[in-house]
Amino acid sequence: MVFVGPSLHVTLLPLIGILIVVAGFALRFNPLVVVATAAIATGIAAGHATIDVISAFGKAFIDSRSVPVVWLALPVIGLLERTGLKERARTVISGIRVATTGRLLLAYLALRQITSALGLTSLGGHAQMVRPLIAPMAEAAAEVRWGELPERTRNRVRANAAAVDNIGVFFGEDIFIAIGSILLIRSFLDQNGIHVEPTSLAVWAIPTAVCAFVIHGTRLVLLDRSLKAEIEGGGK
């Protein structure tokens, strides 16, 4: 054992933030409250004065203000929803007879991976694409076959629509050489005296991208069957 005696407190105490997060999420406390508490506790556990901790916390929050920028899409998305955007998205999909929930999401997965690989990550997103377009279309494709969906099935279709957006962008974007993660890898390796070409990093993202498409694509094909069984089985 390396951590013995008083050094235990010195070395492991900053991990209290992780403990608070894990326990708080497990006990289903409000995540915003849990995370803020963990942030303050981590600073105090590291031995800083309370005023310094609150200042550092304030600075970290202010420095991260670009994170929620996607919400700027809400006024126009809300306006379009009010005018029938979701209903229109449903009508369009209902007119395509071969469209099923699984196939539609499979097509979106391919589109999201390919466009992300070309650096076009802003062509997707939960606020701009999934809520107004992809989720209503995926629901409509199921409704054409089975009529009004049970609440449980509807929620499952929506969750799948959100998941496809994530998986598509995660395992597509690294094939693009100027994406954040490639830049991070390069700068980290540079600091350690190793120089690598961004193109070679991007090439080695391709095998995983293919696996992601095969694995999740197969699950989407199976999703149609599973939804059918769920609906015809009376929701049990």
Partner 1 sequence: MITLEFVNVLMGLMMAGIAIVNVRDTTNRKRYNNAAFWGLYAVTFLAGSHLPNFVNGLLVIAMVLIVAIGKLGGAPSEQTSRADREVSAAKWGNRLFIPALTIPAVALLGTFTLKGLQVNGVPLVDPKQVTLISLGLATSVALMVGMVMLRPPASAPIIEARRLMDAVSWAAVLPQMLAALGAMFALAGVGPIVAGILSRWIPLDTRFAVVATYTIGMALFTSIMGNAFAAFPVMTAAIGLPLIVHRFGGDVVVMAAVGMLSGFCGTLVTPMAANFNIVPAALLELPDQNAVIKVQIPTALMLLTANTAIMYLFVFR
Interface with partner 1 in residues 172-231 (CB under 8 A): 174, 180-181, 184-185, 188-189, 192, 194, 196, 200-202, 204-205, 207-208, 211-212, 215-216, 219
Q: Which residue has the tokens 């095969």?
A: 214
Q: Residue from 99, 100, 149, 165 that binds partner 1 (CB under 8 A)?
A: 165
Instruction: Kindly state whether residue 11 participates in binding partner 1, applying the rule CB under 8 A.
Output: yes
Tokens for 8, please give them: 């235990």
Single-letter amino acid, residue 18: I
Task: Write down the least CB distance from residue 231 to partner 1, Å.
Answer: 18
How many residues of this chain bind partner 1 (CB under 8 A)?
109
Q: Compare residues 103 and 158 and give the one whose CB is closer to partner 1.
A: 158
> Residues 70, 95, 190, 225: which binds partner 1 (CB under 8 A)?
70
Q: How far is the CB of 203 from partner 1 (least distance, A)?
A: 8
7 lies in the site for partner 1, by CB under 8 A = no
Which residue is listed with tokens 């803020």? 36
Angle of helix 151-173 versus helix 101-117 axis, rounded to 10: 20
**Chain residues 12-51 in contact with partner 1, contact rule CB under 8 A:** 12, 14-15, 17-18, 21-22, 25, 30-33, 35-36, 38-40, 42-43, 45-46, 48, 51
**Cα dihedral sign, 36-41-44-50:** positive
Interaction residues for partner 1, span 100-119 (CB under 8 A): none
> What does the alpha-carbon distance between residue 206 and residue 218 come to, in Å, rounded to a whole number?
18
> Binding segment for partner 1 among 94-102, 140-148, 169-177, 228-236 (CB under 8 A)?
169-177
Question: Which residues neighbour 22 within 8 Å (Cβ) at sequence distance 6 or greater?
Answer: none
**CA-CA distances (angstroms) from residue 72 to 75, 84, 135, 210?**
7, 20, 20, 33
